[in-house]
């Protein structure tokens, strides 16, 4: 599975790579300070945000990032290999829907994210969720907001991307919900 996923990420053509870079721009601008990119894949965010550390469970992806000179470690997200309050931001782009135990994940995120730290989450719409058999949980906008508020996140803003309508997620596999929030410990 890991080799297949790595090959899938690497198979994007020029247009796909360009669009991915373009789609990452608002995310890059949102952060400041040191950022942890959970599920960093082949390091597209890491390439655009030099003060980021990638984390992925896929050894092929981690090896690829490291060979490119990017900071990336292989680890399970339920036991992050970082000290308390060591990041100003955490990115979960197309990752949260893959976790069977999100409470464990958020326990660790809360541990490593500084007070006032920024969180950015991107999850697929319904069509995108159904498209991938490895997706375990669909996150609706209201469910995700409530989940984060209970864990101390505020200043929550959401948008749908690239088509700015929730309805687009019913028909387009690549339309996402983007959520931005700040931690208040």
Written as tens digits, the pLDDT of the chain (185 aa) is 578 776 777 777 787 777 778 889 999 999 999 999 999 999 999 999 999 999 999 999 999 999 999 999 999 999 999 999 999 999 999 999 999 999 999 999 999 999 999 999 999 999 999 999 999 999 999 999 999 999 999 999 999 999 999 999 999 999 999 999 999 98
pLDDT at 161: 93
Per-residue pLDDT, 21: 83
pTM, two decimals, is 0.93
Both ends of the chain: CA-CA distance in Å?
Answer: 38
Measure the CA–CA gap between 110 and 117, rounded to whole angstroms.
10
Are the beta carbons of 45 and 65 closer than 8 angstroms?
A: no
Which of 9, 37, 23 has its CA nearest to residue 121?
37
Range 2-183: architecture per CATH = 3-Layer(aba) Sandwich (3.40)
Degrees to nearest 5, angle at CA 140 with 137 and 141: 140
Contacts of 137 (CB under 8 A, 6+ apart): 96, 97, 99, 100, 102
Predicted confidence at residue 1, as pLDDT, reads: 52
């Amino acid at each position: 599975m890991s080799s297949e996923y790595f090959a899938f990420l690497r198979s994007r053509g020029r247009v796909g790579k360009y669009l991915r870079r373009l789609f990452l721009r608002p995310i890059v601008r949102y952060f400041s300070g040191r950022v942890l990119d959970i599920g960093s894949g082949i390091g597209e965010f890491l390439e655009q945000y030099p003060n980021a550390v990638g984390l992925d469970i896929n050894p092929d992806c981690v090896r690829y990032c490291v060979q490119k000179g990017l900071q990336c470690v292989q680890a399970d997200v339920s036991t992050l290999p970082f000290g308390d309050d060591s990041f100003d931001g955490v990115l979960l782009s197309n990752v949260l829907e893959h976790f069977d135990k999100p409470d464990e994940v958020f326990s660790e995120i809360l541990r490593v994210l500084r007070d006032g730290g920024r969180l950015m989450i991107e999850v697929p719409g319904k069509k995108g969720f159904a498209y991938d058999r490895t997706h375990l949980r669909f996150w609706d906008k209201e469910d995700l907001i409530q989940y984060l508020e209970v864990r101390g996140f505020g200043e929550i803003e959401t948008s749908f991307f690239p088509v700015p309508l929730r309805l687009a997620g019913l028909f387009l596999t690549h339309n996402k919900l983007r959520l931005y929030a700040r931690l208040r410990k």
